[in-house]
A and B are shown apart, each in its own frame.
Chain A
Amino acid sequence: MTLAMEIFRGRRRQKGARRVPSKALEDSLDTLKDSYDLLGLLIEDARFVIFDTELTGLKLRKDSIVSIGAVKMVGGRIHLGDYFYRLVRPETALTGRSVLIHEITPEEVSTCPDIETLLPEFIEYCRDSVLVGHFVSVDLGFVNKELKRLYNRTLQSPAIDTQRIYRWLAQQRENGCAYHEGRIEELDLTSLAGRYRIPVGRAHNALDDAYMTAQLFQRFLAELPGAGIRTVADLIRIGRL
């Protein structure tokens, strides 16, 4: 990319104009869009990207991504070396409250690349994979917001919510009885990890949370064959947003 182009891009972004996605990004987005092709795969053959984001806050309109962490799985196997972790210079201000949660300071991210630079990398990392996350709608919402803003595109691929899979399994274990809505159960990641004795890392670090989610997902996968869940399609049916 030439310096001129860089400047050009920067200026255009200031105006809030949309970019044309590069060929590579287009390809990656396409594989994600087409991930319905993955539906027929047996779970043990499928690739999963388990991801988490840290945000400046929870308001989709006002807030933005501070970091993205992701771990790859093939079937039930977590690939420890093939992880993704990036800090992002957020599009909106890092407020005091969120800094206390994820402990990422404005200074730390001031020199980091912006989301525009990182998003294509992340999309590439997700190529040919089914997306998984804990309360994944929130994270996916922010990723899509940026994709929309930058490229007027969104991820079309199905994503699996581990929290929903947990609830579905709990329901199965209760012999098909309706899930007790009345029962108060903590469904946040740390509580669930504790229940499965999964070591809790630095809380609200996107990579550690993604790794915890992956381990939780790994436990669920071990239970699923017994409940008749064998393919990615089955998995999406029970864990869909």
Chain B
Amino acid sequence: MLITDTIEFLKGIPPFQFLEEGALGELASGATLEFYPKGTMILKQDGQPSDYLRVIKKGGVKVYIQPEQGEEIIIDYRSEGDSFGLLSMVGQDRSRANVTAIEDTICYLFERRTIQRLIDTNPHFTEYFFKTFLTKYIDKTYKEMRDRSLLYGGGEKLLFTTPVGEIANPDVVTASQDITIREAASLMSGRRISCLVLVDAEGAPVGIVTDRDLRDKVVAKGRDVDSPIRRIMSVSLIRTDVRDYCFEALLKMVRYNIHHMLVVDEGKLRGIITNHDLMMIQGTSPISVAKEIEAQQTIDGLVGASQKINRIVGLLLKEGAKAGNITRIISEINDRMLKKILWLAERTFGQPPVPYCWIVMGSEGRKEQTFKTDQDNALIYDDPATPEEEGLATEYFANFSVFMRDALVQCGFPLCPGNYMASNPSWRQPLSVWKEYFSNWIKTPTTDAILFSAILFDFRPIHGDITLAERLRAYLTQLASNEDMFLRNLAEMAVKLRPPLGFFRTFVVEKSGEHKDALNLKYKCIAPMVDIARLYSLAAGVSEVGTLDRIAALKRLPGAMAEHGDDLEQAFEFLSLLRIHHQYDQIEAGLEPDNFINPDKLSNLEKKTFKEVCQLISRIQDSLVKQYFPGTTL
């Protein structure tokens, strides 16, 4: 029982399952079993190196770091089958983190020499272990710490806001322009540098020689290496000022097709910057993409720029940006793209007969898009004064919106399957008709009306006569707050989809392996939160559109959000980030992004947070039921 049970247990968990039966038997025979009551600190940060690898047989532990100042940083929760103490044990280094039992916990202890032998002889075993342990520590710990540190300002300080002077390498190697090619090359190889700056007798930079010059102009041409270096140096020195932003330096490098550039301050050499230094922002900085969009004059030109948006998300994720900021930046870039296309459309069709406003709806309206989503747009135009004007407007906006639809498709925004696009005549109407739509949906809340309002009420103006959209918003805000029947219908929608409470019930106590089904994050969790925020906002006469903006506005008012607002904000942030990460990984893997999260892929920390988020949503839904449907149970 003692040994066989241990072997059976190990067979079920990575990386032990990769081991042969014999190795498992050996491992089990040397194992000991220890019990830690809830609350026991098993390993102490900066304490003695761990002599054992501990594998949790039952229970759960919390791995966390206590910084010298500030709150503890939770690295992970570990439950049955997870292990801890590897790095400290293998490195015989101080323990990197505190490990505390969060419930009564039983661990198998495996001795260092046994594990060390497996690490030395079994590549699968080793790879798994170090991957999970190291990446978890290095990625998570240090990122979280970095995000909290003032120096990095919450991961928002992107390289593109940095002046060149800050990232330029100040240690420039210079030499007289009178030395020979051979002397220059030996200097470069001796100092292990890829470029050499040549100066005149006064020390002012006059030229630059790079590896590429030696290859292209010397070796390939069979030039005499004893000829002076100035013969091959690039004299037309492209320089950048220390105060230029990095993206400006990059544009110059791209324009002149160079890889090194001198950084000067009032003519004096201050350093050198290479394309490698700028790799981080090459084509992936939000500003450079935005600039690129600005610079385009044709739809074809925009197509290229739009393809870079996904890469920006990757960069932002790596920089540790918050989900709210990522979606805002993506919305900003998409907005610019849209404005540019609208500008091109106006240029194609001439001035509109009446003022109009282009609006976007749904997630785009709320600025909650992650990756490029379907088109969700509409058009409001000023009420025509005469039938002739009406005729002109109808024709103009029909052509205009079809052009928009096709241009957006070209730029990678697929058609809306629900046909919520201005190219659909229903969704390009004068202001008076829009008002009529809205009031009909509210007064007669049919199923269709509720669906329309859920999408269209989250509208946001992009371009044109913004006052048209503002007038419609004011009309809606004043109209909706007292319509109990309508609000009840919205409430019904907001409580219809319940988060999967039972989904993670087995967390820590039991393995969650039996729940193979993935979870639709969007429908089960994000949509209810969006619906809840919309409902509360319409009921309270709050005119904000974004979910986080709505919650922020509602928090200032009395009511449920004053209590739950902070939690709901964090929950929304968490779910959005989870979704972005998931979709980005899919895109990186060449898959279509979707909203299906497999709980097995989540870390224990994520699972735990997820569970709390689901409970929060469910609590708010319960209170909605009480408020709008007293006496019923949904």
Interface residues of A (CB under 8 A from B): 71, 74, 76-81, 83, 201-202, 205, 207-208, 211, 215, 218-219, 221-223
Contact = CB atoms under 8 A, between A and B. Distances in A.
B37 A80 contact: no
Given A78-B32, A80-B6, 18 more contacts: A71-B2, A76-B34, A76-B35, A77-B109, A79-B32, A81-B2, A81-B28, A81-B30, A81-B31, A83-B2, A207-B1, A207-B2, A208-B1, A218-B33, A218-B34, A218-B35, A219-B35, A222-B35
A80 B29 contact: yes
Given A202-B1, A207-B1, A207-B2, A81 B29 contact: yes
Contact of B2 (A77, A80, A219, A223): A80
A99 to B, nearest CB: 20
Interface of B: 1-3, 6, 28-37, 40, 108-109
A32 B33 CA distance: 25
A80 B7 CA distance: 11
A80 B3 contact: yes
A223 B33 contact: no
A11 B97 CA distance: 66
Contacts of A218: 33-35
Contacts, number: 48
Nearest to B6: A80
Contacts of A80: 2-3, 6, 28-29, 31-33, 108
A219 B40 CA distance: 13
B37 A223 contact: yes
A202 B36 CA distance: 25
Contacts of A71: 2
B33 A222 contact: no
A77 B109 CA distance: 9
A221 B37 CA distance: 10
A222 B37 contact: yes
B577 to A, nearest CB: 37
Contacts of B31: 80-81
A127 B3 CA distance: 23
A211 B33 CA distance: 11
Question: Could you tell me the dominant secondary structure of chain B's interface residues?
Answer: mixed
A80 B28 CA distance: 7
B3 A77 contact: no
20 contacts: A76-B35, A77-B32, A77-B33, A78-B33, A80-B28, A80-B31, A80-B108, A81-B2, A81-B3, A81-B30, A81-B31, A207-B2, A211-B1, A211-B2, A215-B33, A215-B35, A218-B34, A218-B35, A222-B37, A222-B40
Contacts of A221: 35
A201 B1 contact: yes
Contacts of A83: 2
Interface secondary structure of A, over-half rule: mixed
Give the 7 A-B CB pairs with smallest separation, nearest first.
A81-B29, A78-B33, A77-B32, A218-B35, A80-B2, A80-B31, A222-B37
Contacts of B32: 74, 77-80
Contacts of B40: 222
Nearest to B108: A80
A107 B292 CA distance: 89
A69 to B, nearest CB: 9
A222 B1 contact: no
A222 B35 CA distance: 7
B506 to A, nearest CB: 16
A74 B109 CA distance: 13
B39 to A, nearest CB: 11
Contacts of B1: 201-202, 205, 207-208, 211
A74 to B, nearest CB: 8
B32 to A, nearest CB: 4
Contacts of A77: 32-34, 109
Most chain B CB within 10 A, of A81, A201, A207, A211, is at A81
A83 B1 CA distance: 10
A129 to B, nearest CB: 15
B115 to A, nearest CB: 15
Nearest to B25: A81
**Which of B29, B30, B33, B34 has most chain A Cβ within 10 Å?**
B33
A81 B6 CA distance: 10
A222 to B, nearest CB: 5
B9 to A, nearest CB: 11
A164 to B, nearest CB: 20
Nearest to A201: B1
Nearest to B26: A81
B22 to A, nearest CB: 14
Nearest to A79: B32
A216 to B, nearest CB: 10
Contacts of B3: 80-81
A130 to B, nearest CB: 17
A87 to B, nearest CB: 15
Q: Most chain-A Cβ atoms within 10 A of its Cβ — which of B2, B3, B32?
A: B2
A108 to B, nearest CB: 18
Find the residue from A77, A83, A202, A208 having the highest chain B CB count within 10 A: A77
A223 B40 CA distance: 11
Contacts of B36: 222
B527 to A, nearest CB: 39
Contacts of A201: 1
Nearest to B58: A197
Contacts of A81: 2-3, 28-31
A77 B33 CA distance: 5
B104 to A, nearest CB: 8
A223 B104 CA distance: 12
A190 to B, nearest CB: 15
